Amino acid sequence: WEAIFLREFARFVGSYAITDHIDESIAHTTERLRVFYRNLRPLTAEKKCFQIFDWDDTLLPSSFLSSQGYRLDSQKEMSQDLKNQLAQLEKSVVAFMKMAIAQGGRVYIITNAEQGWVELSAAKFMPSVVPLLASLEVISARTRYEDRFPESPLQWKYYAFQNNLAKAFTNDLKAKS
């Protein structure tokens, strides 16, 4: 079953469009958030919720920003148009994260970036997201699994997902017994 899951996970990860155009990148991310947001339904008290999100090129258009020279160590000034678009995306991400947190249950951001990247990049590019990070768990799959699976980012994420799901369901089973 692991091979099937890994294949399906690779197809899912590969389905996200990465673009060099901020309008397309932000529009793509914002539309995905809108669709997901519309489809969320309030959970009853009996249901458990486990939500996992990616950061780079899912919530933050990292590839686009980097391709345009906007990095953590960059002092490059953004155009007003780019600032406005990023602010619009930031508002969508904040609303989306607040709704995910309000659903209850566990909320994770699992990234293949180094430990601390999500917090640092949020502080630079989406500062109003930073306070929300305290309400969820940010996990660096790279930091946890790179030594075990060198040169295999897909496996880092796969095992981060698998281990956190297993931990959550094991804790739920222990609580019921």
**Percent of the chain that is helix, strand, coil (3-state, to 5):** 60, 10, 30
Position 74, amino acid? S
CB neighbourhood size of 88 (10 A): 13
Digit-coded pLDDT (tens) for 114-162: 999 999 999 999 999 999 999 999 999 999 999 999 999 999 999 998 8
DSSP per residue over 15-77, as a string? TS---S-HHHHHHHHHHHHHHHHHH--PPPTT---EEEE--BTTTB-HHHHHHTT--TT--PP
Check residue 104 and give left, alpha or beta (phi > 0: left; psi -120 to 50: alpha): left
Digit-coded pLDDT (tens) for 7-56: 444 444 444 433 444 455 556 655 655 555 555 555 444 456 678 899 99
Encoding tokens for residue 154?
């897909």
